[in-house]
Structure 1
């Protein structure tokens, strides 16, 4: 399949059939479908009404929560890495400006 070429995939979520056009490979689509299906199934079990619509909203909120928390964690990790890189860069610059024997004495 060429890059950006879309394929149609057929699958079921919570027993309901769906079709999706996607440029992702089949394995990725299967992972996405399985992830969403698990979230919907868990939400169906958790909701007292058993309403598919309520379960879909609950599943969407759970997925959004995971996404937002992962983004926050990734941002914090990027900031930590950037701070470390800046410190290393400053240490390197500082070591270049020291007289050649000064670092050997420390």
Structure 2
């Protein structure tokens, strides 16, 4: 897979600059970086004695928890939609 369609931007997360590259739009990459920064800042504020690596692990767990919850909600909504579709087609 080539990198010719990848966007490359500089972002700041927890006061450190990173280069982020990916096929998504620059706006999307910035939004993702801002989310990570916000979660990192929240974790750092709640756990000021943890080193950056441990804060990053906690932030990753928080983000993964949100993802798993949203995936479950999505599956439940798909199931509900499927039930409603079957119900309306049998009328």
Fold match (TM-score > 0.5): yes
- Deviation >3 Å, runs of 4+: none
- TM-score, normalised with respect to structure 2: 0.90
Q: TM-score, normalised by structure 1?
A: 0.78
- Is the Cα contact below 8 Å between 1:14 and 1:41 reproduced in 2? yes
How is 1:34-45 mapped onto 2 (pairs within 5 angstroms)?
34-45=34-45
Aligned position for 2:77: 77
Q: Gaps (5+ residues) in structure 1?
A: 92-106
How do residues 62-101 of structure 1 correspond to structure 2 at under 5 angstroms? 62-91=62-91
The 1-side partners of 2:86 and 2:43 are apart by: 45
What's the Cα RMSD here? 1.2
**CA offsets per residue over residues 43-99 of structure 1, 9 Å max, x none?**
1111142311111011000000000000001100100010000011111xxxxxxxx
Q: Select the structure with the greater relative contact order (CA < 8 A; seq sep ≥ 6).
A: 2
- Cα distance in 2, alignment partners of residues 54 and 40 from structure 1: 10
Paired residues in the alignment total 88
Q: Which runs of 5+ in 2 are unaligned?
A: none
